[in-house]
């Protein structure tokens, strides 16, 4: 897939995701969304698309939320507890299931949660997208991040995400590659992420 097509698709996904969360925000009294209505903090593109590779195999994305969608996407497991309670994401599902929650995360989010089934969705459904769902606290809490990293099969997962990243802006367009993604998160969420800097 050409980079231009990948970026066009990522921007459309970003637009649809923002549209879906805005619609949910208007239903704050909906009992189906109580007591914890979904909220998105960030939608990121990382990997080969963010690096600007001329051709890419898929689009890697991370949605950071308040825990509602991420807990459900990861099998209903609690990612908000103490470090020793953090499960290994590699054990959530059998191998086929793990690839399914990544590969079909976009469809699960847009169709099931946001009920978006129009031509815009149909135009992206066959594009390979790996959409990861994580609660914001897993990224911004050094303790939770450390516990997660120890149990993740890729100990450099967060470093890889932060090394090259595009951030969805309010205009529904992904930013240029952030020159310092770690600094962006540290400033915005008042956290310390020095463990993600390479020595």
Burial, 155: exposed, middle or buried (Cβ in 10 Å; 0-12, 13-18, 19+)?
Answer: exposed
Q: Are 71 and 79 in contact (CB under 8 A)?
A: yes
pLDDT greater at residue 35 or residue 50: 50
3-state class (DSSP) for residue 104: coil
Neighbour tally for 114: CB within 10 Å? 18
The whole domain housing 55 covers 3-196
Q: Are 63 and 131 in contact (CB under 8 A)?
A: yes
pLDDT-above-90 percentage for the chain: 32
Whether the pLDDT of residue 172 is over 70: the answer is yes
Least confident of 105-114, 152-161, 173-182, 186-195: 152-161
C-alpha closest to that of 161 among 18, 47, 85: 47
| Domains identified in the chain, total number | 1
C-alpha closest to that of 22 among 114, 90, 124: 114
DSSP at 177: P
Whether the pLDDT of residue 84 is over 50: the answer is no
Q: What pTM does this model have?
A: 0.82
C-alpha closest to that of 129 among 13, 3, 4, 40: 13
Whether the pLDDT of residue 15 is over 60: the answer is yes
């Amino acid at each position: 897939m050409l980079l231009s097509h990948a970026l066009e698709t990522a921007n459309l996904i970003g637009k649809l995701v923002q549209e879906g969360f805005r619609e949910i925000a208007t239903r704050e009294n909906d009992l189906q969304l109580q007591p914890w209505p979904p909220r998105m903090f960030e939608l990121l593109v990382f990997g080969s698309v963010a690096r600007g590779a001329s051709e890419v195999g898929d689009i890697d994305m991370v949605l950071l939320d308040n825990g509602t969608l991420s807990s459900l996407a990861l099998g209903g497991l609690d990612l908000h507890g103490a470090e020793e309670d953090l499960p290994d994401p590699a054990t959530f599902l059998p191998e086929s299931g793990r690839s399914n929650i990544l590969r079909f995360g976009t469809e699960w989010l847009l169709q099931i949660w946001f009920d978006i089934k129009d031509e815009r969705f149909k135009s992206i459904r066959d594009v390979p997208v790996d959409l990861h769902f994580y609660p914001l606290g897993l990224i911004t809490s050094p303790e939770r991040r450390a516990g997660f990293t120890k149990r993740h099969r890729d100990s450099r997962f967060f470093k890889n995400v932060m090394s090259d990243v595009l951030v969805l802006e309010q205009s529904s367009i992904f930013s240029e590659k952030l020159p310092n993604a770690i600094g962006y998160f540290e400033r915005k969420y008042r956290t310390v992420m020095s463990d993600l800097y390479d020595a």
